[in-house]
């Protein structure tokens, strides 16, 4: 009886309210679906500073904080891994922290004031410091996942910060083969080129920058060409101060925020900072064109190798590499010798005109792949490096290559370039590549 009475009362109220056109939301704004607005950019700076660059990492962190980001659709995250040995500022904490960069009104005062973030998947919290091995590529991959999930944007940029060794070399941890980035002294390890590639698989990063030495080599570009669109790097050494991030981002935030804009700002900043240095360079590299560069290099290398039929020709080719070509290496011996591909192709054509067509094709592929490049030295203007061989002493090539650079050797963590190159790298069972004919063929 009570339930029937309650139902009648409710029904009566409904008709009364309906007849009066009563609207429960009459004084409220209509409900709308709230959608999170995408940023234009989210950058991840992977600051591997568990080494003698620790003080430089604090300086560059401050440079990022000195930029006024208000009303700018850019977020910058920094994973910084400090050392217990080289810098005692900011409470002298050591370990790994993740920050979201915030503008510091005090500017370049050496103090980190940005927002520290928790990252449970890496065990990072606000309560205690832990040390993460930033040489582990899975750490980088997780950071990229976090960046893209928690800070979605139209475009993503990754800045690899710290020591760089090109294909291998530099720091002395063993085994010596296939070093590349993220030298981590505490764990006595480093990230190889192939591991960097694994970290990026499927991530579709728009821009990968290397504030490192020897980042701008074909082996690295080829490794990440499927998972990134553009790369900015130097084919030679970079001074310890690295990039000037205040100048770079102050310029960039005044542009239309395109990838091209960032590349132009990076080149201009680097030129302004290091114009007085003798051996520095920076290139913007279109990774969509790198397959063409590799294919042209294979054709050029095979054609050049076919000309090496005796010891006289072999010596002539080596003379072009060692005496005429623009080359780079670390100080001291033994060391790795990197060549500027464009410059090498030009000088070889002067000495061996029969490979002129292949040389011109290689040069054209580099022009298409490198829209912007600057160097403090005289060059062809399309600066991209390539490993050639080790030097055991000044002007003295080593007689063999590491298994890591020999196709078919079965060495672990080989780069895609080594596995897939027909015309440049040496082959375990012999071949017709340039390095096969230069080092591993008897005359």
User: Which tens digit of pLDDT belongs to each residue from 378-396?
Assistant: 888 899 999 999 999 999 9
User: Contact 309/437 with Cβ under 8 angstroms?
Assistant: no
In sign, the C-alpha dihedral spanning 380, 381, 387, 391 is positive
Whole-model pTM: value is 0.89
In a shared domain, residues 303 and 359: yes
For residues 323 and 427, state if they share a domain: yes
**Could you read off the pLDDT of 335-382 as tens digits, one per residue?**
899 999 999 999 999 999 999 999 999 999 999 999 999 999 988 889
Tokens at residue 248, please?
A: 């770079």
Euclidean distance between CA atoms 74 and 386, whole angstroms: 34
191-200 residue pLDDT tens: 999 999 999 9
What's 429's DSSP letter?
Answer: T
Determine phi and psi for 165, rounding to 5 degrees: -125, 15
Predicted pLDDT of residue 36: 55
Label the pairing between strands 228-233 and 189-191.
unpaired
Q: Which of 274, 308, 341 is the last residue of a domain?
A: 274
CB neighbourhood size of 166 (10 A): 29
Q: How confident is the model at residue 119 (pLDDT cuts 50, 70, 90)?
A: very high
One domain, residues 157 and 189: yes
Question: What pLDDT is attached to residue 240?
Answer: 87
Between CA 38 and CA 41 the distance in angstroms is: 8
pLDDT at 155 over 60: yes
What is the model's pLDDT at position 221?
Answer: 98
Structural domain includes residue 26:
no
Spatial strand order of the sheet with 385-393 comes to 327-328, 335-340, 385-393, 396-397
| Of 29-38, 81-90, 146-155, 267-276, the least confident | 29-38
> Are 231 and 124 contained in the same domain?
yes
User: From its phi and psi, is residue 21 left (phi > 0), alpha (psi between -120 and 50) or beta?
Assistant: left
Measured CA angle at 237 (ends 231, 241), to 5 deg: 90
Domain membership of residue 216 as a residue range: 39-274
Could you tell me if 339 and 407 lie in one domain? yes
Q: Are residues 251 and 336 in the same domain?
A: no
CA dihedral in degrees (42, 48, 52, 57; nearest 10)? 20
Please state, rounded to an integer, the average pLDDT across all residues of the chain.
89
Write out pLDDT tens, residues 212-256.
Answer: 999 999 999 999 999 999 999 999 999 989 999 999 999 999 999
Residue 355 vs residue 38, higher pLDDT:
355
If DSSP codes are grouped into helix, strand and coil, which group holds residue 245? helix
- Is residue 24's pLDDT more than 60? no
pLDDT above 60 (res 174): no
- Cα–Cα dist 250/185, whole Å: 33
Say if 423 falls within a structural domain.
yes
- The domain boundary residue, chosen from 274, 301, 322: 274
Question: What confidence score (pLDDT) does residue 330 get?
Answer: 84
pLDDT beyond 50 at 428: yes
Q: Is residue 325 part of a domain?
A: yes
Residue pair 281/235 in contact by the 8 Å Cβ criterion: yes
Establish if 348 belongs to a structural domain.
Answer: yes
Residues 296, 270 share a domain: no
- Partners of 39 in the beta sheet? 153
Confidence at 178, pLDDT banded by 50, 70, 90 = low
Query: By the 8 A CB rule, do 317 and 360 touch?
Result: no
- Clarify whether residues 122 and 152 are in a common domain: yes
For 38, 303, 319, 321, 359, the CA distances from 345, given in Å and listed in that order, are 44, 12, 14, 10, 5
pLDDT for 11 beyond 50: no
Q: Whole-angstrom Cα distance, residue 309 to residue 317? A: 11
Inside any domain, residue 129: yes
Q: CB count, 10 Å around CB of 362?
A: 27
Please state which of the ranges 30-34, 88-92, 290-294, 303-307 shows the lowest mean pLDDT: 30-34
For residue 286, being part of any structural domain is answered with no
Q: Assess whether pLDDT exceeds 90 at residue 326.
A: yes
User: Do residues 123 and 231 share a domain?
Assistant: yes
Of 340, 338, 342, which is closest to residue 366 (Cα–Cα)? 342
Q: Give me the pLDDT at residue 22, please.
A: 32
DSSP string, 335-359: EEEEEEHHHHHHHHHHH-GGGHHHH
CA distance to 25, 77, 362, per residue, from 144 (Å) = 43, 10, 34
Regarding whether 310 and 209 lie in a shared domain, the answer is: no
Look at residue 27 and tell me if it is in a domain: no
In a domain, 377, yes or no: no
- Contact between 37 and 75 under an 8 Å Cβ cutoff? The reply is no
Contacts of 405 (CB under 8 A, 6+ apart): 167, 387, 418, 425, 426
* 234 and 336, same domain (yes or no): no
Least-confidence region, from 47-56, 179-188, 416-425: 179-188
Residue with tokens 């500027």: 340
Are 201 and 344 contained in the same domain? no
The model's confidence at residue 171, banded by pLDDT at 50, 70 and 90, is very low
Arithmetic mean of pLDDT, 206-210? 98
For the chain, percent of residues with pLDDT exceeding 90: 79
Please state, in angstroms and as integers, the Cα–Cα distance from residue 220 to each residue in 144, 209, 251, 431, following that order.
Answer: 18, 11, 28, 23
Dihedral, CA atoms, 405, 406, 407, 409, nearest 10 degrees?
A: -120
Asked if residues 246 and 108 have their Cβ atoms less than 8 Å apart, the reply is yes
Statement: residue 118 has pLDDT above 50? yes
Q: Give CA–CA dist 98/101, Å, rounded.
A: 10
| Residue found by looking up tokens 């009303």 in the block | 71
Mean pLDDT (whole number) for 269-286: 95
Q: Which CATH number goes with the domain that contains 231?
A: 3.40.50.11970
Task: Out of 37-41, 113-117, 359-363, 398-402, pick the least confident.
Answer: 37-41
Question: Over pLDDT 70: what percentage of the chain?
Answer: 89
Average pLDDT over residues 156-173: 79
- pLDDT of 409 higher than 60: yes
Q: Which of 243, 274, 305 is the last residue before a domain boundary?
A: 274
Q: State the total domains in the chain.
A: 2
* Statement: residue 34 has pLDDT above 50: no
Predicted pLDDT at 27:
35
């Amino acid at each position: 009886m009570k339930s029937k009475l309650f139902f009648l009362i409710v029904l009566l109220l409904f008709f009364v309210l309906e007849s009066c056109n009563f609207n429960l939301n009459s004084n409220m704004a209509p409900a709308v679906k709230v959608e999170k607005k995408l940023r234009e950019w989210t950058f991840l700076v992977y600051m591997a500073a568990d080494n003698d660059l620790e003080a430089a990492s604090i300086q560059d962190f401050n440079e990022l904080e000195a930029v006024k980001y208000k009303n700018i659709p850019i977020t910058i995250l920094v994973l910084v891994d400090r050392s217990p040995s080289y810098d005692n500022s900011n409470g002298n904490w050591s370990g790994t922290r993740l920050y979201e960069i915030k503008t510091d009104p005090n500017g370049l005062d050496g103090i980190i004031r940005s927002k520290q973030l928790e990252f449970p998947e890496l065990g990072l919290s606000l309560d205690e410091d832990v040390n993460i091995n930033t040489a582990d590529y899975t750490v980088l991959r997780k950071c990229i996942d976090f960046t893209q999930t928690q800070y979605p944007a139209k475009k993503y940029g990754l800045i690899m910060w710290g020591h760089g060794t090109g294909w291998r070399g530099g720091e002395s941890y063993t085994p010596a083969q296939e070093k590349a980035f993220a030298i981590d002294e505490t764990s006595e390890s480093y990230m190889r080129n192939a591991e960097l590639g694994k970290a990026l698989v499927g991530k579709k990063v728009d821009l990968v920058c290397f504030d490192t030495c020897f980042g701008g080599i074909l082996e690295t570009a080829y490794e990440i060409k499927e998972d990134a669109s553009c790369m900015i790097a130097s084919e030679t050494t970079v001074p310890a101060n690295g990039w000037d991030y205040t100048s770079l981002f102050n310029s960039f935030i005044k542009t239309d925020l395109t990838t091209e804009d960032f590349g132009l700002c990076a080149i201009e900043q680097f030129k302004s900072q290091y114009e007085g240095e003798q051996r520095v360079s920076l290139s913007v590299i279109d990774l969509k064109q790198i397959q063409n560069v590799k294919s042209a290099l294979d054709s050029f290398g095979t054609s050049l190798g076919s000309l090496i039929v005796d010891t006289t020709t072999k010596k002539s080719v080596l003379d072009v590499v060692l005496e005429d070509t623009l080359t780079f290496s670390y100080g001291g011996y033994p060391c790795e010798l990197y060549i500027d591909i464009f410059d090498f192709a030009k000088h070889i054509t002067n000495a061996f005109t029969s490979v002129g067509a292949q040389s011109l094709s290689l040069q054209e592929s580099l022009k298409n792949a490198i829209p912007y490049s600057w160097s403090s030295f005289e060059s062809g203007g399309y600066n991209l490096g390539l490993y050639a061989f080790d030097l055991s002493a000044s002007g003295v090539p080593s007689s063999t290559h590491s298994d890591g650079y020999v196709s078919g050797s079965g060495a672990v963590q080989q780069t895609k370039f080594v596995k897939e190159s027909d015309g440049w790298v040496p082959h375990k069972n012999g071949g017709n590549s340039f390095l096969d004919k230069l080092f591993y063929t008897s005359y």
